[in-house]
């Protein structure tokens, strides 16, 4: 069989994220693609003709051509148009999904939430992801994920062999790349050091209901539980509003500048999630020198380490106890800030994009996935 000369093989980026509303997955895609663009590691980015506008994210890509091609949007475009227009090269997919028919590709699967917390997702979403991601694994597509926890999840729920899944870090320095917008404090009557910040959507696995007693405890001290984020429709199953924390101030969706200001002036950041693939808000908080109180779940132990206090995600009293420690124990907040600064040395987008560029280079020189024997795949990084 003739070998393919990969030296001139173009690298195409799946640009669906530019037609999606910004969330953690889209943030990852923006930062990684920008890093790859700076390294000259991608040839172009291919986007569908329609969908929600992703703001000015395309500006992050510098001189990399952005091609709008084909018809339709979403999964239909991705499964039909995308593999056809990128068949001459390697396709890089950064947002959990990828075309089953692409011959050469890499896909980033951030987590297996659809399997581990099925109550948080719609039945349609679970069915699509189960079939699609299992199909990608069966076709021996190179899988990349964002934590050792998620790597284990992918191996467990999708049956991926260890050598098929690589891990790269995420980063948090993007939050400091924009000026802090301090007007958000006055607009929401928040005093520096007198509020506790939560960032998340009102969906089941974000577990905001566990903070009801914390809101009451803070209110009794003249402090505020401030919750930034927006209700998500469609793929997520919503929690009922009746059991959300009543003693809380709901800020809605905020800009990156406002979010930076909120992190920087909060007494601490609370992350009560029952399930995450990485936990980007915790890293953003550390980047803004904000002490972290997080759910005691494996992935947040992995990401935060000694830079956080941990609370049982099923205990309201545990969150109250740990947050009040930040207020009451002399020196504790400072120790958490210092530990967070040290922890950040392993989480930055420069390292992440360098790791992805290395995986892309290896994939460009490998045989197409569907003709490779599993034993030929590189070990996990």
Same domain, 165 and 240: no
Give the range of the structural domain holding residue 332, as residue numbers without chain letter. 175-346
163: in domain: yes
Write the CB contacts of 363 (distance below 8 Å, at least 6 apart in sequence): 90, 104, 105, 106, 142
Same domain, 342 and 353: no
Q: What is the pLDDT of residue 5?
A: 42
Write the CB contacts of 7 (distance below 8 Å, at least 6 apart in sequence): none
Q: What is the pLDDT of residue 87?
A: 95
How many separate domains does the chain show? 2
Q: Nearest 5°: CA angle at 113, between 242 and 16?
A: 105
Structure tokens at 136: 């990608």
For residue 347, with 0-12 CB atoms within 10 Å meaning exposed, 13-18 middle and 19 or more buried, which class applies? buried
Same domain, 158 and 203: no
293-315 pLDDT per residue, tens: 999 999 999 999 999 999 999 99
pLDDT class of 231 with cuts at 50, 70, 90: low
268-293 pLDDT per residue, tens: 999 999 999 999 999 999 999 999 99
Q: What percent of the chain has pLDDT over 70?
A: 87
Same domain, 181 and 164: no
Same domain, 153 and 195: no
Q: What is the pLDDT of residue 2?
A: 32
CATH of the domain at 250: 3.40.50.2000
65-104 pLDDT per residue, tens: 899 998 888 899 999 999 999 999 999 999 999 999 999 9
- Helices then strands, counting H and E runs in the chain, come out as 13, 13
Same domain, 203 and 271: yes
Q: What is the pLDDT of residue 229?
A: 87
Same domain, 19 and 130: yes
Helix (H, G, I), strand (E, B), or coil: what is residue 202? coil
CB–CB of 213/320 below 8 Å? yes
1: in domain: no
Q: Which residue has the higher pLDDT, 9 or 334?
A: 334
242: in domain: yes
pLDDT at 176 over 80: yes
Same domain, 70 and 24: yes
User: Across residues 15-39, what is the average pLDDT?
Assistant: 91
Q: Which helix (H) or strand (E) holds 320?
A: helix 316-328
Write the CB contacts of 289 (distance below 8 Å, at least 6 apart in sequence): 264, 337, 340, 341
Same domain, 13 and 119: yes
The residue with tokens 């908080």 is: 285
186: in domain: yes
Paired sense of beta strands 292-295 and 308-311, if any: parallel
381: in domain: no
pLDDT at 238 over 90: no
pLDDT at 327 over 70: yes
- Burial code (b: 16+ CB inside 10 Å, e: under 16) for 359-381 equals bbebbbebebbeeeeeeebeebe
111-141 pLDDT per residue, tens: 999 999 998 889 999 999 999 999 999 999 9
Q: What percent of the chain has pLDDT over 90?
A: 76
Q: What is the pLDDT of residue 283?
A: 97
Same domain, 207 and 235: yes
Same domain, 203 and 277: yes
Same domain, 321 and 365: no
249: in domain: yes
Q: What is the pLDDT of residue 8?
A: 73
Q: What is the pLDDT of residue 58?
A: 54
112: in domain: yes
Q: What is the pLDDT of the chain when averaged over all its residues? A: 88
pLDDT at 361 over 60: yes
Paired sense of beta strands 249-252 and 142-145, if any: unpaired
């Amino acid at each position: 069989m003739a070998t393919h000369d990969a030296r001139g093989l173009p690298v195409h980026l799946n640009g669906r994220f530019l037609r999606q509303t910004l969330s953690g997955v889209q943030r990852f895609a923006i930062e990684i693609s920008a890093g790859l663009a700076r390294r000259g590691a991608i040839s172009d980015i291919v986007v569908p003709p329609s969908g929600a506008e992703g703001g000015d994210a395309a500006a992050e890509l510098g001189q990399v051509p952005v091609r709008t091609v084909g018809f339709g949007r979403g999964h239909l475009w991705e499964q039909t148009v995308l593999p056809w227009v990128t068949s001459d090269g390697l396709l890089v997919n950064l947002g959990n999904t990828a075309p089953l028919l692409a011959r050469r590709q890499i896909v980033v699967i951030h987590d297996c939430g659809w399997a581990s917390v099925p109550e948080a997702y719609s039945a349609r979403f679970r069915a699509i992801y189960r079939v699609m991601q299992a199909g990608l694994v069966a076709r021996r597509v190179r899988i990349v994920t964002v934590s050792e926890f998620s790597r284990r999840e992918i191996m467990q729920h999708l049956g991926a062999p260890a050598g098929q899944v690589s891990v790269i870090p995420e980063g948090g320095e993007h939050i400091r790349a924009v000026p802090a917008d301090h007007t958000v404090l006055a607009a929401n009557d928040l005093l520096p050091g007198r509020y506790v910040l939560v960032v998340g959507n009102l969906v089941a696995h974000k577990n905001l209901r566990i903070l009801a007693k914390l809101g009451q405890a803070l209110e009794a001290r003249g402090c505020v539980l401030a919750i930034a984020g927006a209700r998500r429709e469609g793929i997520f199953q919503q929690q009922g509003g009746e059991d959300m924390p009543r003693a809380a101030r709901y800020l809605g969706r905020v800009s990156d500048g406002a979010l930076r200001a909120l992190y920087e002036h909060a007494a601490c950041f609370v992350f009560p999630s029952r399930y995450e693939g990485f936990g980007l808000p915790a890293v953003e908080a550390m980047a803004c020198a904000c002490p972290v109180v997080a759910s005691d779940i494996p992935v947040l132990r992995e990401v935060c380490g000694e830079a956080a206090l941990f609370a049982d995600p099923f205990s309201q009293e545990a969150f109250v106890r740990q947050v009040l420690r930040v207020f009451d124990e002399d020196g504790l907040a400072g120790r958490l800030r210092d530990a967070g600064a040290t922890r950040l040395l392993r989480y930055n987008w420069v390292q992440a994009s360098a790791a992805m560029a290395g995986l892309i280079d290896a994939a460009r020189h490998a045989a197409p996935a569907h003709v490779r024997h599993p034993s030929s795949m590189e070990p996990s990084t």
